[in-house]
Structures are given as structure tokens and as C-alpha cells.
């Protein structure tokens, strides 16, 4: 992962963007000003609050990074720090994913519970078929979960 992707991933502001063009605005920093695509993107950014904010945040991050990094002798250390932070970031994503999964399973079990007697009476109902399907999925998920 290059430094730019790391910065994008680390900025909550950028992650929460609602505009589908936001991911393109960062190329403004690389494109020659006279390039047609530069003008097109710049025009959009000037009129789009989400993209404008994202770009400004990103530029600030770059400035911060330039202040904190450089000097060849600490480059290895900086590189290691980035790598560490990226792997931490992925661990957090992973945990969130598992948390969401657990919540979904809990809700599903609650649903089955509240169905009670009606649940038994409707063994062939659509809901029951869904539950069978869910059981199969749960089996696969749990198997993966406890491996
Ligand atoms: Zn936009």
C-alpha cells in the first residue's frame, strides 16, 4: 500500500464522503494544471462540498506527513511505523466485521426465540425455510469463526 492509500484510509473525513467522485479528486495533486481532466475535476471540486473538504483534508495530511517524516536516516523507522499502522488498521476492520456478524447472529436467534410455538406449527412455512437456510449459513460461519 502506498502512502497515499494509507492517508486516505486513515482519514475518517475522507472515508465518510458521500460524493462518488471523491476518489478521483486526489489525482488533482498529480495532474498538470493545463490538462483537460485537471480542469474537469477542479471544476467539480469547486462546486462540491464533499470533495472540497476531502481534498483539503488530504492536502493537510500531506503537509503533516512532510513535516513528520523525511530525512533519509529515519526512513526505515518511518516505513516500519506506516506498516505497523496499516496492519493495526486492518485488525480493527477485521474486528468490526466480526462484531457486526455476532450482532446479526444474536438478532437472528432472538427472532427464532420469539417465534415460539408458532414456529413449530409452521415447519413448512417460508420463515422456516429461511431458518433452515440460516442454519446452514450459521454452521459455515461458526465453523470459520472458531477455526
Ligand atoms: Zn464531489
Query: Residue 79 and residue 71: Cα distance in Å, rounded?
Result: 12
In a domain, residue 55? The reply is yes
pLDDT bin (cut points 50, 70, 90) of residue 137 is: confident
32-41, 65-74, 85-94, 131-140: range with lowest mean pLDDT: 65-74
| Nearest of 18, 49, 24, 46 to residue 37 by alpha carbon | 24
> Which one is predicted more confidently, 39 or 106?
39
Report pLDDT digits (tens) over 106-128: 777 777 666 665 655 666 667 66
pLDDT bin (cut points 50, 70, 90) of residue 30 is: confident
In a domain, residue 12? The reply is yes
> Which one is predicted more confidently, 68 or 14?
68
CA of 100 to the centre of ligand 1 (A): 29
Q: Is 127 helix (H, G, I), strand (E, B) or coil?
A: helix
> Which one is predicted more confidently, 22 or 111?
22
In a domain, residue 146? The reply is no
CA of 96 to the centre of ligand 1 (A): 28
pLDDT bin (cut points 50, 70, 90) of residue 80 is: confident
In a domain, residue 11? The reply is yes
First-to-final CA distance of the chain? 28
CA of 60 to the centre of ligand 1 (A): 18
Checking if the pLDDT of 76 tops 80, the result is no
CA of 120 to the centre of ligand 1 (A): 52
pLDDT for residue 96: 74
Query: Residue 92 and residue 88: Cα distance in Å, rounded?
Result: 6
| Nearest of 64, 78, 55 to residue 8 by alpha carbon | 55
> Which one is predicted more confidently, 112 or 39?
39
In a domain, residue 22? The reply is yes
Our count of domains for the chain comes to 1
- Which residues form the domain of 18? 1-68
- Pull the grid cell for residue 105: 447472529
CA of 34 to the centre of ligand 1 (A): 21
CA of 23 to the centre of ligand 1 (A): 9
The mean predicted confidence, pLDDT, of the chain is 75
> Which one is predicted more confidently, 4 or 52?
52
> Which one is predicted more confidently, 80 or 6?
80
Amino acid at each position: 500500500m502506498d502512502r497515499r492509500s494509507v492517508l486516505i484510509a486513515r482519514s475518517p473525513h475522507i472515508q465518510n464522503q458521500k460524493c462518488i467522485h471523491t476518489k478521483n479528486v486526489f489525482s488533482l495533486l498529480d495532474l498538470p494544471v493545463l490538462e483537460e481532466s485537471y480542469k474537469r475535476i477542479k471544476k467539480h471540486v469547486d462546486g462540491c462540498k464533499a470533495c472540497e473538504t476531502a481534498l483539503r483534508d488530504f492536502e493537510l495530511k500531506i503537509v503533516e506527513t512532510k513535516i513528520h517524516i523525511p530525512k533519509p536516516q529515519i526512513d526505515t523507522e518511518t516505513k516500519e511505523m506506516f506498516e505497523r499502522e496499516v496492519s493495526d488498521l486492518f485488525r480493527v476492520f477485521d474486528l468490526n466485521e466480526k462484531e457486526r456478524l455476532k450482532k446479526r447472529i444474536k438478532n437472528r436467534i432472538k427472532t427464532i426465540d420469539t417465534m415460539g410455538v408458532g414456529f413449530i406449527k409452521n415447519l413448512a412455512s417460508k420463515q422456516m425455510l429461511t431458518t433452515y437456510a440460516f442454519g446452514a449459513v450459521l454452521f459455515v460461519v461458526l465453523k470459520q469463526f472458531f477455526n
